[in-house]
Amino acid sequence: MITAFFNSPIKRKLMIIMLLTSGVVIFVTAAAFIVNETLTFRREIRNEMLTLAAIVSNNTSAAIMFNDQKAALETLSGLSSDPRILAVHIVNNDGAVFAEYIYRVAEGARGQSGARDFGKPSVPYKIALAEADSEAGSFWNWPMRLTVAEKIIVDGREIGKVVIQANLEGLIEKLKRFFFLAAFVMLVVSLLAYMMSTKLQSLISVPIMNLAQTMKDVSQKKNYSIRSEKTSNDEIGVLIDGFNEMLQEIEERDETLKQRQDHLQRLAHFDSLTSLPNRALYCDRLSQTLLKAVREKQQVAVLFVDLDHFKDINDTLGHRTGDLLLKDVAVRLQKIIRASDTVARMGGDEFTIFQQDVKDSRNAGLVAKKIVESLSQPYLVEGREIFITASVGITMFPDDGATVDELLRNADTAMYHAKDSGKDMFKFFTQEMNVSVHNRLTLQNSLRRALERDEFILYYQPKMDIASRQVTSVEALLRWLHPQEGMILPGRFIPQAEETGLIIPIGEWVLRTACQQIKEWQAKGHPSIRVAVNVSASQFKRQNFAETVTGILEETGISPLFLELELTESAIMQNIDSSVEILNSLKAMGIQISIDDFGTGYSSLSYLRRFPIDYIKIDRSFIVNFTSNSDDRAIVTAIIAMARSLGLKIIAEGVETEEQLAILSELGCHEMQGYLYSKPLPPSLLFKFLRVNSPPGG
Amino acid sequence: MISKRLIVFLIVLALLAAGPLQLSATNSASREYTLKAVFLYNIALFVEWPEGAFTSEQSPLTICVLGNNPFGEALDSLSRQTVKNRKLAVRQINRVEEAAGCQILFVSATEKMRLDDILTAVRNWNVLTISDLDNFAYAGGIVQLITLEDKIRFEINLKSAQRAKLKISSKLLKLARDIIE
């Protein structure tokens, strides 16, 4: 029962509580009323009977005095109209009945009075007396009749008594009526209470049920933006507020989660620097596009874009500048392509594009041309003007490949061909290119074996002092004597060596061989001459470069004074602090330092002040046309002037004509190197040359 | 049988009312006058006299018997009773003039011939006249005792009572067989 109550809905609980409360209140009220009514009724009837007895006493006193029973009975007969009066006895002081009135129901009469056998107490009178004695009975043990007695007094003397017995059945009747009324009222009130409680309980149960419903909605729909409406400021209001706050928090948490997911999504599919799609997204989109292209028999063009010499920008101007430049490149690419095309960054300086529904491959060519032209326009990065070009390879689906991988690989191959063909251009993929790729791979393999098979040799090219026309030193130059292809120049295999990492052992081999050569010449009694060795950037970057040099010098036992190292600008600009340190230690040993290919990099001359440099070699590209090209001449003039002011010696490379030499001499260039004086020579031929042009002090 | 019971009752009643007063039917006075003596006393209880009827607070209520005294010793025993805090006094008189100072005047049967003179003489006195003479009330007496079927009843002349400035209780009037106005 109690469990059932606790398990019932709040609505029912409230109703039960209200009904119980009203029921108890009515019940207690009715009970109190009944008790009060009973007591009042008894008191009133008693008072009434006492009054009546007093009247009877007064009215019959004379009759007793004058022994006039008739008169007494007349008086008593007046009482017959009151049905409550059961009996009236007038007795003298002896207890003998003088007159009596007895209500007789059985005989149907309203009442009958008589004076039969007066003198001895009648039976009803005896009962009456007994009852009168037990008048102070307990509340629960009422006699159904009430007896009162009144003395009859004349002139201060008691001459008898009036004893009245009253019927209390009226009370029963009255209580019965009251009971039925109370029951009726209770019914009506219960009904009212039921009706009111049905309405009133909703004040409490409806907000709670609404809250519960909202909770269900939220959990079913997983919609945390739903809110429960607050209707009051009581505890339920507090509950609803708390619930809503909780939802708010969940919603905010969801939002944060969603943002993070989006962010992760972006990271997974987009390049963080340029905001372009990354390789994964690009490949996904391309594969979708290919499926569609197969269905609709369309062509798709895949373009592979690679910036030329981008590495130099990173190396000389820093990664920050490089990154900003890549962003500019991305912006330019996006401007060129159609909305339906996708441009992505594959990593580094590689970008890929695909175009859907290409009617003719020439259209792809036009786009590639636009890209090449657009990317070669000057860039302004952090107030600095930068020039860069791009090479583009194009493949067409379905002609050049069926899969994403194949298309990209072939586009890459085509791009390499564009680079090999001089850069700053685009190339369509052809099947022959794969053959050359094959060749390239073959070259890499044979390059790997070249060191083991001792296929490399060094040539030496003398450098001449312009003023004295004497040999100052020689530059060691690498040649590959390929068993099948004959002599191969560094331009063909050095990029491969750089790519494969073979440049490190090859570089070391060159250094060691050059030193051994010096040693050999010294042993043969040839005049000592300084040899310049080229050091690649990756070689110089290695932590133990200085130790390697020291080791080789000790190994061969030659003086560092006969060694000169040639480094490119980009090699020493990558990490200026460590470069300065390494160069200082080399310089301290007595090794000469020169900057190779000067003018092709992007560094400013002022930086050079920090390095312990002896020579600057002006790149051959400035010398080739500088007699006719005033720009080149201006650059050469400026470099020489500045180097001289810094106290550096200048060597011009690639000098081929007397005219060039004359101008260089005029500008104050210290030394020269080139075919005008001597081409690179094998060691055996070098000394014949040197004997003719005897070196200073030789 | 009934009458015998009645006598016993009355005697008991008289004893209760009068305490030590002994009413004996065996005395020289007749049974009838013994009852009438009690009546005199009882009637006195239901009558109020005006202020001037008594000479003082302590003066007794005097019953005067004019003419031959028919009560015998029955009246003597009354004299020990009190009515409304006054002692009872009984006097036997022979002339009506002696009735001055009486509150109750019982006119004996012997005075029948002089009744009119007597009533005329006391008509303005504050005296309650009682007699068992026929037509006493009609003649102007206040209370006339009548014997009917062994029972004593009375008639009252209210006019005479009013003239005597006596107030007769309604209870007494209610018991009267006849009231003359």
**CATH number assigned to the domain comprising residue A637:** 3.20.20.450
Cβ within 8 Å, pair B171-A61 = yes
User: Residues of B near A (CB-CB distance < 8 A)?
Assistant: 5-6, 9-10, 12-13, 16-17, 39, 42, 45-46, 83-84, 151, 169, 171-172, 174-175
What is the number of other CB atoms lying within 10 angstroms of the CB of residue A463?
25
With a cut of 60, say whether residue B25 has pLDDT above it.
Answer: no
Structural domain total, chain B: 1
**How much is the pLDDT for B19?**
39
Please check whether residue A135 is in contact with residue A49, taking contact to mean a CB–CB distance below 8 angstroms.
Answer: no
Whether residue A563 lies inside any domain: the answer is yes
Same domain as A419, residue A543: no
Residue that is last in its domain, among A174, A204, A229: A174
Same domain as A607, residue A494: yes
**CATH number assigned to the domain comprising residue A117:** 3.30.450.20
How far is the C-alpha of A176 from the C-alpha of A534, rounded, in Å?
132
Give residue A439's identity as a one-letter amino acid code. N
**How much is the pLDDT for A120?**
44
Same domain as A623, residue A559: yes
Q: Which domain range does residue A664 map to?
A: 444-683
Residues forming beta bridges with residue A465, ordered by sequence position: A671
Same domain as A595, residue A505: yes
Residue of B45, B151, B171 lying closest to A155 (CB–CB): B45
**CATH number assigned to the domain comprising residue B74:** 3.40.50
**How much is the pLDDT for B23?**
42
How far is the C-alpha of B108 from the C-alpha of A332, rounded, in Å?
167
Restricting to A residues 36-95, those with a Cβ less than 8 Å away from any Cβ of B are 58-59, 61-68, 71, 92-94
Interface test with B, best of A152, A155, A159, A161 (most B CBs within 10 A): A155
Whether residue A182 lies inside any domain: the answer is no
Same domain as A564, residue A616: yes
Restricting to A residues 146-165, those with a Cβ less than 8 Å away from any Cβ of B are 154-155, 157, 159
Which three-class secondary structure string do you get for A448-484? HHHHHCCCEEEEEEEEEECCCCCEEEEEEEEEEEECC
Residue A600 CB burial class (10 angstroms; 0-12, 13-18, ≥19): middle
Q: CA of A142 to nearest chain B CA: how many angstroms apart?
A: 36
Cβ within 8 Å, pair A67-B46 = no
**How much is the pLDDT for A227?**
86
**How much is the pLDDT for A439?**
78
Residue that is last in its domain, among A429, A454, A484: A429
**How much is the pLDDT for A119?**
41
Which residues does chain A have within 8 Å of residue B13's beta carbon, measured at their own beta carbons? 64-65, 67, 92, 159
Q: What is the pLDDT of residues A58-88, one digit of tens each?
A: 888 888 888 888 888 888 888 877 878 888 8
Measured in Å, how far apart are chain B's first and last C-alpha atoms? 38
**How much is the pLDDT for A130?**
58
Q: What is the average per-residue pLDDT within B48-72?
A: 88
How far is the C-alpha of A211 from the C-alpha of A555, rounded, in Å?
90
Residue with the bigger pLDDT between A637 and B1: it is A637
Cβ within 8 Å, pair A67-B6 = yes
How far is the C-alpha of B24 from the C-alpha of B19, rounded, in Å?
14
Residue that is last in its domain, among A365, A394, A429: A429
Please check whether residue A441 is in contact with residue A409, taking contact to mean a CB–CB distance below 8 angstroms.
Answer: no
How far is the C-alpha of A80 from the C-alpha of A67, rounded, in Å?
22
Restricting to A residues 269-308, those with a Cβ less than 8 Å away from any Cβ of B are none
Which of A294-298, B6-10, B24-28, B106-110 has the lowest average pLDDT? B24-28
Same domain as A483, residue A391: no
- Mean pLDDT computed over every residue of chain B: 82
Cβ within 8 Å, pair A64-B13 = yes
Same domain as A389, residue A279: yes
Same domain as A54, residue A6: yes
Residue ranges for chain A with pLDDT beneath 70: 1, 104-143, 601-606, 694-698
Residues, chain A, total?
698
Whether residue A102 lies inside any domain: the answer is yes
Same domain as A451, residue A424: no
Cβ within 8 Å, pair A92-B13 = yes
**How much is the pLDDT for A604?**
63
Does A237 lie at the interface with B, CB-CB under 8 angstroms? no
Structural domain total, chain A: 3
How far is the C-alpha of A343 from the C-alpha of A441, rounded, in Å?
29
Q: What is the pLDDT of residues A241-300, one digit of tens each?
A: 998 999 899 889 989 999 998 888 888 889 989 999 999 999 999 999 999 999 999 999
